[in-house]
Amino acid sequence: MTTPAAATSESSHAASTTGAATARTGYAFSRFGALWTLFALTLRQHVRGKRWMIMGVLFLLPAGLAILIRSTTNEIYTVVPEFLLAWMFIPQVLLPLVALVYASGIIQDEQEEQTITYLLMRPTPKWAIYLVKLAATLVTTSVLVALFTAITYAAIFVGIDYSADNAAKTIDLAAATDRCLTTIGIHVLAVVAYSSLFGFLSIITRRTLVIGILYIALIEGITANMPFGIRLGTVIYYTRLIAYRAMDFVIQHRMGRVENLSAEAWQFDLKKDPHLLEHPDTATCLKTLLIASAAFAVLAAWQCARREFHVKTPEKE
């Protein structure tokens, strides 16, 4: 019997180093080219899929609601639909949902469609496959979020009466554009954090959608709205803090009464802590979200490198 060690030394095929392999393959190897192709392939898969159409329809809901509100009354302060749609509905429902829908499929889609073999049989390590596909997913979700957030803002602010008579109820278009860009920035940050989290979940469990929906409903939906320390473990808490400090959602009523929509809805106790000194500052919020996203991405990539990916074969079926 020829031992494996002997095989290594004797075989004309058996070049034992990667360098030797490079020499024998007969083509110039481009690591960047391979990764870029995988990135582009993932983007093409996203464009081809029906997900973006479904998410697009969902994302048009806030814009549709804004148009509905505008068509029924002129007496409303624009900050109200802005806050309710762009800062309650989108972050609470749509951002985690779009992240869940795309990130849960980073590897699982390839596995279910049995195309993962074509990726695993290439000279790209599994951790790199995951990270590149995650990067493409972040681009897709960020573009979707930016686009539809802009549409929502357009539906609220474009064509509104900016005359002096209405000045107390609205802001000018330049200010609205600034607020829109700030909102897009924070929403993109949130969707990156959610995508990294759900991407990690999809590597450690096949029930990502169920667990993800429970997470969105229970953790981000309920605990984030409670005035307790437990909300420090949610994405939405940090995005709200950043938004609270970067934008104001205040209504000056004619009788002089001031109403702070965000403080009330987001459970910030302004009587006890008017400057939110007990809460993390903006830089800490940004760092927390970015570090958490990076940590989940690294953990998922590490887990991906260790995992076997089984595909259904006709035998197994």
Partner 1 sequence: MHSPPQGQVARPAEVTAVVAFHEVSKWYGNVIGINKLSLEIRPGVTGLLGPNGAGKSTLLQLATGQLRPSQGTVRVLGEEPWNHAALNRRIGLCPEQDAFYEWMTGWDFVYTCARLSGMTRRDAHGSAQEAIAAVGMIGKERRAIRGYSRGMRQRIKLAQTLVHRPDVLFLDEPLTGTDPVARRDLMDIIQRLGREGKSVLVSSHVLHEVQSLTPNIVLINRGRLVAEGHVRQIRDLIDQHPHQIVVECRAYRQLAGRMLAWDDVEGVRVLESGRGVMVETRSPDAFYSRLPALSLEDGLAIEAVYSDDDNLEAVFKYLVNG
Q: How far is the CB of 89 from partner 1 (least distance, A)?
A: 33
In the complex with partner 1, which residue's Cβ is closer, 41 or 67? Answer: 41
DSSP designation for 73: -
Buried/exposed 169-203: b ≥16 CB within 10 Å, e otherwise: bbbeeeebeebbeebbebbbbbbbbbbbbbbbbbb
**Nearest by Cα to 45 from 94, 96, 102:** 102
Site membership for partner 1, residue 123 (CB under 8 A) = yes
Site membership for partner 1, residue 15 (CB under 8 A) = yes
Site membership for partner 1, residue 225 (CB under 8 A) = no
Contact stretch for partner 1 (CB under 8 A) within 71-79, 119-127, 179-187, 273-281: 119-127
In the complex with partner 1, which residue's Cβ is closer, 125 or 233? Answer: 125
Q: Restricting to residues 23-42, which ones interact with partner 1 according to CB under 8 A? A: 24-31, 33-34, 37-38, 41
Q: How far is the CB of 58 from partner 1 (least distance, A)?
A: 24
Q: What count of other Cβ atoms lies within 10 Å of the Cβ of residue 168?
A: 11
Q: How far is the CB of 123 from partner 1 (least distance, A)?
A: 5
Site membership for partner 1, residue 22 (CB under 8 A) = yes
CA distance 50 to 34: 26
Q: Which of 117, 205, 252, 284 binds partner 1 (CB under 8 A)?
A: 117
Contact of 202 with 208, CB cutoff 8 Å? yes
Q: Which of 57, 68, 74, 118 binds partner 1 (CB under 8 A)?
A: 118
Phi, psi (rounded to 5 degrees) for 250: -110, 140
- How far apart, in Å, are the Cα atoms of 199 and each of 9, 15, 113, 267, 310? 43, 37, 18, 30, 18
Site membership for partner 1, residue 12 (CB under 8 A) = yes
**Nearest by Cα to 151 from 241, 58, 49, 243:** 58
The size of the interface with partner 1 (CB under 8 A), counted in residues, is 54
In the complex with partner 1, which residue's Cβ is closer, 26 or 229? Answer: 26
Using DSSP's 3-state secondary structure scheme, residue 24 falls into helix
In the complex with partner 1, which residue's Cβ is closer, 6 or 213? Answer: 6
Q: Which of 77, 95, 104, 126 binds partner 1 (CB under 8 A)?
A: 126
Site membership for partner 1, residue 73 (CB under 8 A) = no
* Residue 210 host element (H or E): helix 208-214
Q: How far is the CB of 59 from partner 1 (least distance, A)?
A: 24
CA distance 276 to 285: 13
Residues that bind partner 1 in the complex, under the rule CB under 8 A: 1-2, 4, 6-16, 18, 21-22, 24-31, 33-34, 37-38, 41, 45, 48, 113-115, 117-126, 305, 308-315
